[in-house]
A and B are shown apart, each in its own frame.
Chain A
Amino acid sequence: MPITQAARNLISQMVIGTHSTNAYYGSTGAILWVSTSCTAHAGAQTHLQGLTLTCHNSTMESGFPSIATNVLQFKGILSTARGNIDWNEIGLTNATSTTAGTMLFRLVSYFGTKTCTQTWALTACCTVTT
């Protein structure tokens, strides 16, 4: 499960309204991140594990995030100038800094190596199930 303990706690706070009002993963808050670390996911992690310099992010595309009942979709695009690294980890946070915000999830896999002649579109589909 790629969700983090910090996200678990934040969601719990959101249920009763004790969270910070800027904690939402909305159209101006949600940030998708990519980086190079292959370190296995652990629930206690609070951000991607790659060095800060290797972390690249994307704000939300127009119309995202979207929601259909219990399925959330977040979409970002990394153009030719950004994210030209080995993509080994992807995460979603609610801040544009690597030292702020709450990482909702982190997923580790080999997505490929992006070069400066490429644009990659990244869509994260999060399904909340019982």
Chain B
Amino acid sequence: MAPDSETEPMEEVAAKVHVRLHVEKFDMTDEAPRRTDYLIVDNEGRVERPEGA
């Protein structure tokens, strides 16, 4: 049956998955691991380094 042009379109529910990658880097040459860098990469590949992290 042909769709009724007067019918309201069904509401679309769009599910999305957003990814954020956290990378912590540790230098292992000392006795205790020493964190040397911490960066976060968002869904679009943008890199940020949290202040004071």
Residues on B facing A (Cβ under 8 Å): 13-29, 33, 36-37, 39, 41, 43, 45-47
Contacts and interface: CB of A to CB of B under 8 A. Distances in A.
A54 interface: no
Chain A contact residues: helix, strand, loop or mixed: strand
Number of chain A interface residues as a range: 20 to 34
A117 to B, nearest CB: 5
Contacts of A119: 25-26, 28, 33
Contact of A122 (B16, B17, B21, B28): B21
27 contacts: A1-B43, A3-B17, A3-B19, A80-B28, A90-B21, A105-B17, A107-B45, A109-B45, A109-B47, A111-B39, A111-B41, A111-B47, A117-B28, A117-B29, A118-B27, A118-B36, A119-B28, A120-B23, A121-B24, A122-B22, A124-B22, A125-B21, A128-B15, A129-B16, A129-B17, A129-B18, A130-B16
